[in-house]
Amino acid sequence: MKEATFLKELKELDLLQQTLAILEWDSQTGMPEEGSEYRGETTGYLSGLYFEKKIGSKMKDAIEYFDQHPEELSEVGQAALKLVKEEYELNHAVPNELMVTFSAATSKAHGAWQKARKENDFAFFKEALAENIRLTKELIPYWKKEEKNDYDVLLNQYEPGMTTAILDEVFAEVRKGIMAIRQELNERGTKPNTDFLSRTMTKAQQKRFITKVVTDLGYDFSRGRLDDTIHPFATGINHRDVRITTRWNEQDFMMAIFGIIHEAGHGMYEQNIDEKYEYTPVHEGASMGIHESQSLFNEIIIGSNRSFWQKQYPFFQECAEGTFDDIAFDDFYRSLKKSQASLIRIEADSLTYPLHIIIRYEIEKMIFNEGATVEQLPEIWNSKYEEYLGIRPSDDLTGILQDVHWSGSSFGYFPSYALGYMYAAQLYHAMKKELAVDTILSSDDYSPIKQWLTKNIHQYGASRKPNQLIQDATGEALNPQYLLDYMKKIYFDVYQVNR
């Protein structure tokens, strides 16, 4: 077997993936509403070609041969082989029948979840959720490679190397820290005024502002584009075609502006993976958590930075054509960072957000490691919200039915959101040792920040694992203290706690 044969097979897989990514992008941004049934036939057929090829004999032969002759592979070939092998080992033992049942169950559960949301009643989702959990538990033994507990197996599908042992410790610290900060703000802080945030800013005005901002931050529109969608996302079709989407609200400019900064962070990651990895599975993010670290670095670290906003505010005011001329910069800045407990995760502010994740993490762990039953879940959910956030959902819609993840059996995914946030704060801490970030954000040239992220994270794609990336970039393993320090700095300033 020649390396070229192996790489050609990977390339063809990648071309099918690129095609599926365009079809998905199209169906979310522009496809005529009536076209979805036909589109399902097309993606179904192409996905079939993709999976056939992925577990086909050529791929199997390549894995077997190069496992014995790794020295015949280039660096790119070796990095690709590693990922292909991992995935192959994860899935090859799973009986095909079980995968089919699993896939059918998630599809059914998605419908049940939508029905339950419509009826605002968890009862309509309970059975399907139980079936998702049962089948996932049946799959775990096939996926389990080392001495891990069951939930660790699920975690590792999204964040290689992550364990409940680490997360228990880290999340306990984060939870305690955030609750202490919230108490401080409550007792000694001054709430920012946010009355003016709902002033009308047209889509065109918002677009003018944010297009310049993300271009400054380093998102490359000559290799990207921005479209409207209901659920915002970023998609890396290939190295030179990385698209982002958003939704707009003319009475709430923060939605699109922070949304686009967020998606541009994902986009910049994909645009700056070393192009030599293209057409292999290495030209992807290292993990969900690392991907989220890049979007949250943009959205929260940059997007909460006083110098950044001080520099941008005059242009923001210009784009708003007078609407915010009467708002002093300090009032504007503070309004962006108001914190308020909410029941809905995707509406949470950057201080309380991790608490929403921790609640989900604890519940998932109870399901898979401690035998919690679906009947118990709503009560567990509501009590945890009361305990951690001080508010209790009054119905299932604002409680346990709010997220799509469980209907798709994506158990173990939620922690990625909080990991990304902690990684972002830790990377920021490391970056500040080398760069005068505030000075850069006060200047006309933000490029050193992007360059730092590309040098330390982006370029490697999936050739390094999350823990290695973080260790190499910051000199230590995941450390939640940086997130807490960062939150204190931002929120104590905004709430004028020490004034």
Q: Are the C-beta atoms of 273 and 461 separated by less than 8 Å?
A: yes
Which one of 35, 56, 95, 141 is in contact with a copy of itself (CB under 8 A)?
A: 35
List, in order, residues 6 or more apart from 160 with CB less than 8 Å away.
Answer: 287, 465, 466, 467
List, in order, residues 6 or more apart from 34 with CB less than 8 Å away.
Answer: none
> Is residue 71 part of the contact set for a copy of itself (CB under 8 A)?
no
* Residue range at the interface with a copy of itself (CB under 8 A); choices 210-218, 232-240, 246-254, 306-314: 232-240
Nearer to a copy of itself, 37 or 146 (CB): 37
**Least distance to a copy of itself from the beta carbon of 49, Å?**
8
Which one of 177, 189, 218, 224 is in contact with a copy of itself (CB under 8 A)?
A: 224
**Backbone CA torsion sign across 110, 114, 119, 122:** positive
* Residue range at the interface with a copy of itself (CB under 8 A); choices 54-62, 239-247, 385-393, 482-490: 239-247
Please state whether 346 falls in left (phi above 0), alpha (psi between -120 and 50) or beta: alpha
**Least distance to a copy of itself from the beta carbon of 23, Å?**
6
* Residue range at the interface with a copy of itself (CB under 8 A); choices 84-92, 186-194, 220-228, 296-304: 220-228
Bridge pairing between strands 224-228 and 241-246: parallel
> Is residue 196 part of the contact set for a copy of itself (CB under 8 A)?
no
Q: Which of 284, 202, 197, 295 is nearest to 244 (CA)?
A: 295
Q: Are the C-beta atoms of 24 and 44 separated by less than 8 Å?
A: no
List, in order, residues 6 or more apart from 349 with CB less than 8 Å away.
Answer: 337, 338, 339, 340, 342
> Is residue 192 part of the contact set for a copy of itself (CB under 8 A)?
no
CA distance 353 to 92: 37
The strand ranges marked E within 190-285 are 224-228, 234-238, 241-246
> Is residue 12 part of the contact set for a copy of itself (CB under 8 A)?
yes
> Is residue 45 part of the contact set for a copy of itself (CB under 8 A)?
yes
Q: Are the C-beta atoms of 263 and 245 separated by less than 8 Å?
A: yes
Number of residues that bind a copy of itself (CB under 8 A): 37
Q: Which of 210, 215, 207, 157 is nearest to 364 (CA)?
A: 157
The strand ranges marked E within 369-462 are none
* Residue range at the interface with a copy of itself (CB under 8 A); choices 100-108, 148-156, 216-224, 394-402: 216-224
Catalytic residue among 9, 263, 292, 362: 263
Which one of 26, 169, 375, 387 is in contact with a copy of itself (CB under 8 A)?
A: 26
**Backbone CA torsion sign across 413, 366, 359, 378:** positive
**Least distance to a copy of itself from the beta carbon of 298, Å?**
19
CA distance 202 to 356: 32
Angle at 490 between CA 487 and CA 494, to 5 degrees: 130
**Least distance to a copy of itself from the beta carbon of 12, Å?**
6
Residues 314-353 that bind a copy of itself (CB under 8 A): none
Which one of 62, 234, 237, 401 is in contact with a copy of itself (CB under 8 A)?
A: 237
**Least distance to a copy of itself from the beta carbon of 87, Å?**
22
**Least distance to a copy of itself from the beta carbon of 229, Å?**
13
Q: Is 237 helix (H, G, I), strand (E, B) or coil?
A: strand
**Residue 325 CB neighbour total at 10 angstroms:** 9
**Least distance to a copy of itself from the beta carbon of 41, Å?**
6
Rounded to 5 degrees, what are φ and ψ at 232? Answer: -60, 145
Nearer to a copy of itself, 12 or 119 (CB): 12
Nearer to a copy of itself, 236 or 420 (CB): 236
**Least distance to a copy of itself from the beta carbon of 219, Å?**
11
Write each residue from 242 to 281 as x if it is in contact with a copy of itself (CB under 8 A), else as -, in one continuous string.
xx----------------------------------x---
Nearer to a copy of itself, 25 or 353 (CB): 25
List, in order, residues 6 or more apart from 346 with CB less than 8 Å away.
Answer: 402
Residue 263 catalytic?
A: yes
> Is residue 52 part of the contact set for a copy of itself (CB under 8 A)?
no
> Is residue 59 part of the contact set for a copy of itself (CB under 8 A)?
no
Rounded to 5 degrees, what are φ and ψ at 133? Answer: -65, -45
> Is residue 41 part of the contact set for a copy of itself (CB under 8 A)?
yes
CA distance 185 to 201: 30
Write each residue from 275 to 304 as x if it is in contact with a copy of itself (CB under 8 A), else as -, in one continuous string.
---x--------------------------
- Using CB under 8 A, list all residues that contact a copy of itself: 11-12, 15-16, 18-19, 22-23, 26, 30-35, 37-39, 41-42, 45-46, 49, 221-225, 227, 237-243, 278
Residues annotated as catalytic are 263
